[in-house]
Structure 1
Amino acid sequence: MPRLTLVALVVLLFYSPLVNAGKVLVYPLDGSHWINMKVLIEELHSRGHEITVLRPSDSWYIKPESPHYQSITVNSTAGFDEESFGSFVTTMVNMRREGASLWTRISLEYELVAHFYQMNKQVIEMVGEMFENTELMQSLRNAKYDLVLTDPGIGAGVLLGHRLGLPLVLNVRWTIQGEGHHAIAPTPLSYVPIPMTELTDKMTFPQRVKNILYYIFTRIQIWYITDPNYKPFVHRYFGNDVHYMELFQSADIWLMRNDFTFEFPRPTMPNIVYMSGFQCKPSKPLSKELEDFVQSSGEHGIIVMTLGTLVAKLPEDIAEDIAAAFAQLPQKVIWRYKGKRPSTLGNNTLLLDWLPQNDLLGHPKTRLFVAHGGTNGIQEAIYHGVPLVGLPLMFDQQDNFFRMKARGVAKVLDIATVNKDNFLEALKEVLYEPTYREKMTTLSNLHRDQPMKPLDRAMFWIEFVMRHKGAKHLRTESYKMSRIQYYSVDVVAFLLAVILLVFTVFISAVKFLWRRVFSRSKVKRE
Structure 2
Amino acid sequence: MGDPSKLIVIALMALIAIASCIEQTLLHLYFYFKYLILVDTYKNFIKWKFQFNTNFFFPSATIFQELEKFLNASNKNGAILFSLGSNMKSSNIQPATIQILYKVLSSLEQNVIWKWEDLAKTPGNASNIFYQKWLPQDDILPHPNLKLFITHAGKGGMVEATYHGVPMVAIPIFADQPLNAAKIVSSGYGTQVDIMNLKEDDFKAAILEVLNNPVYRYNVRKFAKLYRDRPLSARESVVYWVEYVLRHHGAAHMQSPLVRMNFIQSSGLDVLFAYFAILYALWRLAKLALAHLCELIRKVRGIFKSKREKSKKQ
TM bracket (short chain): 0.5 to 0.7
In the alignment, is residue 383 of structure 1 matched against residue 189 of structure 2? Answer: no
Give the number of the structure whose alpha-carbon radius of gyration is greater. 2
Counterpart secondary structure, 1:430: helix
Matched, 1:341 2:96: no
For 1:290, the equivalent position in structure 2 comes to 67
Q: 1:461 aligns with which of 241, 248, 260?
A: 241
More helix as a share of residues: 2
**What amino acid is aligned across from residue 33 of structure 2 in structure 1?**
D
More contact order relative to length (CA 8 Å, sep ≥ 6): 2
The counterpart of 1:306, out of the listed 80, 83, 106, is 83
Give 5+ residue unaligned stretches, structure 2: 1-22, 40-60, 258-264, 272-314
Match of 1:300, SS?
coil
Offset at residue 352 of structure 1 (A): 1.2
Offset of residue 384 of structure 1: 1.5
The one-letter amino acid paired with 1:457 is: S
What residue ranges of structure 1 are gaps of 5+ in the alignment? 1-215, 232-243, 246-283, 484-526
1:330-479 paired onto structure 2 within 5 Å: 330-339=109-118, 340-343=121-124, 346-474=126-254
Q: 2:70 & 2:141 partners in 1: Cα distance?
A: 15
Tell me how many residue pairs correspond in the alignment: 213
Q: Taking structure 1 as reference, are residues 452 and 285 closer, same or farther at Cα in structure 2, changes over 3 Å only?
A: farther
- Separation of aligned partners in 1, 2:243 and 2:173: 37
Partner deviation per Cα, 1:96-136 (whole Å, 9 max, x = no partner) = xxxxxxxxxxxxxxxxxxxxxxxxxxxxxxxxxxxxxxxxx
Tell me the distance in 1 between the aligned counterparts of 2:109 and 2:177. Answer: 29
Which amino acid in structure 2 is aligned with residue 423 of structure 1? F
Q: How much has 1:364 moved relative to structure 2? A: 0.7
Residue correspondence of structure 1 range 149-168 to structure 2 within 5 A: none
Tell me how far 1:294 sits from its aligned partner. 2.4
Secondary structure class of the residue paired with 1:342: coil
- AA of the residue aligned to 1:424: K
Counterpart in the other structure of 1:325 = 104
Q: Deviations over 1:147-194 (max 9, x none)?
A: xxxxxxxxxxxxxxxxxxxxxxxxxxxxxxxxxxxxxxxxxxxxxxxx
SS at match of 2:196: coil
Q: Deviations over 1:35-80 (max 9, x none)?
A: xxxxxxxxxxxxxxxxxxxxxxxxxxxxxxxxxxxxxxxxxxxxxx
C-alpha spacing 1:286/1:352, structure 2 compared with 1 (3 Å): closer
Deviation at 1:330, TM superposition (A): 0.6
**TM-score scaled by structure 1?**
0.36
Distance 1:398 1:229, change over 3 A: closer
> Deviation digits for residues 226-273 of structure 1, max 9, x if unmatched?
629949xxxxxxxxxxxx99xxxxxxxxxxxxxxxxxxxxxxxxxxxx
Q: SS at 1:416's partner residue?
A: helix
**Aligned pair in 2 of structure 1 residues 351, 452: CA closer, same or farther (>3 Å)?**
same
| Contact 1:327–1:349 (8 Å) recurs in 2 | yes
Give the aligned residue type for 1:352: Q
Change in 2 beyond 3 A, CA 1:386/1:228: closer
User: Judging changes above 3 Å, is the alpha-carbon distance between structure 1 residues 462 and 330 closer, same or farther for their aligned structure 2 residues?
Assistant: same
One-letter identity of the residue aligned with 1:452? L
CA shift, 1:408, in A, is: 0.6
Residues 1:389 and 1:461: Cα distance change in structure 2 (over 3 Å): same
Q: 1:228 to 1:414 in 2, by over 3 A?
A: closer
Kindly indicate whether the alpha-carbon contact (under 8 Å) linking 1:337 and 1:353 is maintained by their aligned counterparts in 2.
yes
Mapped contact 1:324–1:346 kept (Cα < 8 A): no
Partner Cα separation in structure 2 for residue 228 and residue 371 of structure 1: 29
Q: 1:467 to 1:393 in 2, by over 3 A?
A: farther
Moved over 6 A (4+): 480-483
Q: Give the direction of change, closer, same or farther, for the CA distance of 1:469–1:351 in structure 2 (3 Å limit).
A: same
- What SS does structure 1 have at the residue aligned with 2:220? helix
Structure 1 residues 290 and 476 mapped into 2: Cα distance closer, same or farther (>3 Å)? closer
**For the residues of structure 1 that align with 2:117 and 2:95, how far apart are their CA atoms?**
11
Structural RMSD (CA): 3.7
